[in-house]
C-alpha cells in the first residue's frame, strides 16, 4: 500500500515537473518573440564598454608569472582566495568583450541588408568575425570559470586573449577618431 502511494507520488512529481518545464519553455518562447521584435543596437555603448576594459589589468590578471609569485609568497588559503577573485575579474572582462561582439554582429547583419554593395560585403565579414570573437570569449570564459572553481590548478597562459583585448582597444581608439557614423545609434530590427 505504502509502496503504491510512493509510486503514485513519484509519477505525479514527474508529470508536474514536465508541465513546469514545458511552461518554462513556453515562457522563453513568448519572451524571445516579444523582446526580439525590435531592438536598438547602441553601438556607442558597445564601443564604450569595450574601451572600459583595461588591457594592462587583464594581462596582469592572467599572467602565469604573477600567479607563480603569489603562490610562492602567500599561504595556500590566501592564494586560493586571491586567485578566485582574480579569475572572476578576468571572467567579467571576457563576458564584456563577448557582449560587445554580439552588438557588433548585429551591426554587421544590419549592414548586410544595405543597398550599397560595399557596405553589405563588409557587413558579411564583420558579422563572421564578430561570431568568431563571441565564440572565443565563451571558450575563454569556461576556462576562467574552471579556475575560479578549482584555484589550485596551475593556470595555462592566456596571452592570446590578452593580445585580443589589446588589439580591440586599439581598434576602438581608431574608431574614436571617426567623426561620423560610429556615434550614431545603429538600429537593427530583428525578427
Partner 1 sequence: MLPMNWHRALLLFLWITPHVLLVVVAAAVCKRRLYREFPCFFAYVLCRIAVFILLFTLYTVYGVTGRQYAYAFSATLLLIIALGFGVIDEVSRDLFRKSPFLKVAAKRLLRCVAGLLLVMGVLLAVHAPGSNSVRWHAGISVINRGAAMVQCGLLLALLLLARFLGLTWRRITFGITLGLGTLASVDVAASALRAEFTSAAAMELLNLLTTGIYLVCVSIWTGYLFAPELEPAASPTIGSPDEMETWNTELQNLLKH
Residues 119-138 close enough to bind partner 1 by CB under 8 A: 119, 122-136
Q: Is the CB of residue 50 less than 8 Å from the CB of residue 97?
A: yes
State the residue for C-alpha cell 563588409. Answer: 122
- 158 near partner 1 (CB under 8 A): no
Nearest to 55 by CA among 171, 136, 183: 171
What does DSSP assign to residue 72?
Answer: H
| Cell numbers representing residue 30 in the block | 513568448
Q: Determine the interface stretch with partner 1 among 17-25, 63-71, 87-95, 147-155 (rule: CB under 8 A).
A: 17-25
48-87 residues in contact with partner 1 (CB under 8 A) are none
Q: Taking CB under 8 A as the rule, does residue 4 contact partner 1?
A: no
Q: Do 67 and 90 contact (CB within 8 A), yes or no?
A: no
- Does 156 engage in binding with partner 1 (CB under 8 A)? no
Contacts with partner 1 in 19-48 (CB under 8 A)?
Answer: 19, 21-23, 25-26, 28-29, 32-33, 36
Q: How far is the CB of 152 from partner 1 (least distance, A)?
A: 28
- Distance from chain centroid for Cα 177: 26
Amino acid at each position: 500500500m505504502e509502496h503504491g502511494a510512493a509510486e503514485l507520488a513519484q509519477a505525479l512529481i514527474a508529470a508536474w515537473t514536465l508541465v513546469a518545464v514545458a511552461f518554462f519553455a513556453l515562457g522563453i518562447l513568448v519572451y524571445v518573440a516579444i523582446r526580439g521584435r525590435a531592438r536598438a543596437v547602441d553601438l556607442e555603448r558597445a564601443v564604450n564598454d569595450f574601451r572600459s576594459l583595461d588591457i594592462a589589468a587583464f594581462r596582469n590578471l592572467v599572467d602565469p608569472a604573477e600567479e607563480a609569485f603569489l603562490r610562492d609568497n602567500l599561504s595556500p588559503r590566501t592564494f586560493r582566495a586571491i586567485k578566485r577573485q582574480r579569475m572572476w575579474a578576468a571572467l567579467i572582462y571576457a563576458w564584456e568583450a563577448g557582449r560587445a561582439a554580439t552588438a557588433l554582429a548585429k551591426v554587421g547583419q544590419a549592414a548586410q541588408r544595405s543597398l550599397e554593395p560595399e557596405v553589405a560585403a563588409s557587413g558579411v565579414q564583420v558579422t563572421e568575425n564578430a561570431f568568431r570573437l563571441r565564440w572565443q570569449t565563451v571558450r575563454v570564459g569556461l576556462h576562467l570559470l574552471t579556475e575560479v572553481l578549482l584555484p589550485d590548478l596551475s593556470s595555462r597562459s592566456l596571452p592570446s586573449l590578452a593580445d585580443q583585448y589589446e588589439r580591440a582597444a586599439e581598434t576602438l581608439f581608431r574608431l574614436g577618431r571617426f567623426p561620423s557614423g560610429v556615434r550614431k545609434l545603429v538600429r537593427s530590427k530583428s525578427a
